[in-house]
């Protein structure tokens, strides 16, 4: 559609940027494509397309669960089948030579959905098109070397690219991650409308409790929250209160806390402390709050109770970590 618009209305288009595109659908060269789509439609809603679109995360159960949720919320199996077959009929080869606006074609060499040769062929057929190929990455644009890709787009459109600032603000904070236990199954059991209403209740409870304990709600994650606190004691008490409130509305949580230096990135946060808190949460059981030894040491004498949960290896984090379960 973008190519058609640019060729038809060049006076209304300043630049044309095509990512992982094609001139004619690769499906047209597959004799059994309709059969393949029908089989995919049967599995629609299970997260099966992640193997093609975002294969680098296809072995991550949480990523597959989120992708399955995306599939269910975006279209019915029948609608997916219709859209896939409609896309298969796309062929803009006859109009490519008519494109006269500055064009940038981007493609990743390891794209498993649209082959890199397809992208190369597209660029060759557009007069004066600039082609940039990336050595790795998935079909999904938001994973991989995103900063480089976006920088290339920015430079193509504006003539310059922003140089990331090395002056990142770092502060000491206690990071809280939460996750609703078995959210995907619960959503399927309840149905979209009831589940959405319950999630809204959960998000409002979280917002109110984080604010009450003088924390900062960084974001909701779809089935949990990420928040920071400048005091570890308030962070633990907020986690305890949130566990109780969520339990009352039938949404058991897993929660993880860690205190460390974080990077402030506009409205988001980063840094190893954030990853550690997320990995600690992943170790927690249903209705459990786990914290690192750093947190227990910092709140000694504050009247909070903890039970030793042993030493753990956190995925992607060096060394072993002593974890403790918070209790009232």
Query: How do residues 137-161 score in pLDDT, each as one tens digit?
Result: 999 998 888 889 999 999 999 888 7
Phi, psi of 304 (to 5 degrees): -95, 145
Q: Decide if 49 is inside a domain.
A: yes
- Considering the domain architecture, whether residues 9 and 83 belong to the same structural domain is answered as yes
Q: Is residue 163 part of a domain?
A: no
pLDDT tens-place string over residues 210-265? 999 999 999 988 789 999 999 999 999 999 999 999 999 999 999 999 999 999 87
In a domain, residue 164? The reply is no
Number of domains in the chain: 2
Token code pair at residue 261: 């230096």
User: Number of H helices and number of E strands within the chain?
Assistant: 12, 11
In a domain, 239, yes or no: yes
In a shared domain, residues 198 and 74: no
Find the domain containing 83 and state its range.
2-158
Say yes or no to pLDDT of 61 above 70: yes
Looking at 126, 158, 190, which one is the last position of a domain? 158
- We report the CATH number of the domain holding residue 59 as 3.40.50.1820
Residue 166: its pLDDT value, please? 55
How much is the average pLDDT of 75-100? 93
In a domain, 266, yes or no: yes
Q: What is the pLDDT of residue 163?
A: 64
The share of the chain scoring above pLDDT 70, in percent, equals 98
Same domain, 16 and 153: yes
Whether residues 113 and 179 share a domain: the answer is no
pLDDT at 164 over 70: no
Residues 96 and 210 in one domain: no
Domain boundary among 107, 137, 158: 158
Q: What is the DSSP string of 234-292?
A: HHHHHHHHHHHHHHHTT--EEEEEEEEEEEEETTEEESHHHHHHHHHHHH--TTEEEEE
Distance CA 205, CA 57 (A): 31
6 shares its domain with 128? yes
């Amino acid at each position: 559609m973008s190519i058609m618009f640019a060729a038809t209305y060049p006076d209304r288009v300043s630049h044309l940027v095509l990512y992982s595109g094609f001139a004619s659908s690769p499906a047209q060269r597959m004799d059994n494509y309709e059969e393949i789509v029908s089989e995919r439609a049967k599995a629609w809603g299970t997260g099966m397309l992640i193997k093609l679109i975002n294969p680098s995360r296809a072995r991550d159960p949480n990523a597959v669960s989120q992708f399955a949720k995306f599939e269910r919320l975006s279209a019915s199996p029948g609608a997916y089948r219709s859209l896939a077959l409609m896309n298969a009929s796309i062929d803009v080869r006859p109009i490519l030579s008519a494109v006269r606006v500055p064009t940038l074609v981007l493609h990743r060499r390891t794209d498993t959905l649209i082959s890199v040769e397809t992208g190369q062929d597209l660029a060759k057929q557009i007069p004066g098109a600039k082609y940039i190929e990336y050595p790795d990455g998935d079909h999904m644009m938001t994973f991989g070397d995103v900063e480089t890709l976006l920088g290339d787009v920015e430079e193509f459109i504006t003539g310059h690219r922003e140089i990331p600032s090395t002056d990142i603000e770092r502060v000491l904070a206690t990071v809280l991650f939460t996750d609703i236990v078995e959210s995907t199954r619960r959503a399927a059991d309840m149905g979209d409308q009831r589940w959405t209403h319950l999630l809204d209740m959960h998000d409002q409870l979280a917002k109110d409790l984080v604010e009450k304990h003088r924390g900062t709600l960084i974001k909701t994650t779809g089935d949990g929250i990420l928040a920071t606190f400048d005091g570890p004691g308030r962070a633990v008490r907020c986690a305890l209160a949130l566990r109780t409130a969520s339990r009352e509305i039938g949404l058991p949580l897993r929660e993880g806390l860690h205190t460390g230096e974080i990077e402030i990135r506009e409205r988001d946060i980063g840094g190893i402390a954030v990853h550690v808190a997320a990995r600690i949460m992943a170790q927690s059981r249903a209705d459990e709050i786990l914290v690192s030894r750093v947190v227990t040491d910092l709140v000694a004498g504050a009247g909070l109770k903890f039970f030793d949960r042993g030493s753990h290896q956190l995925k992607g984090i060096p060394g072993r970590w002593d974890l403790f379960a918070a209790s009232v």
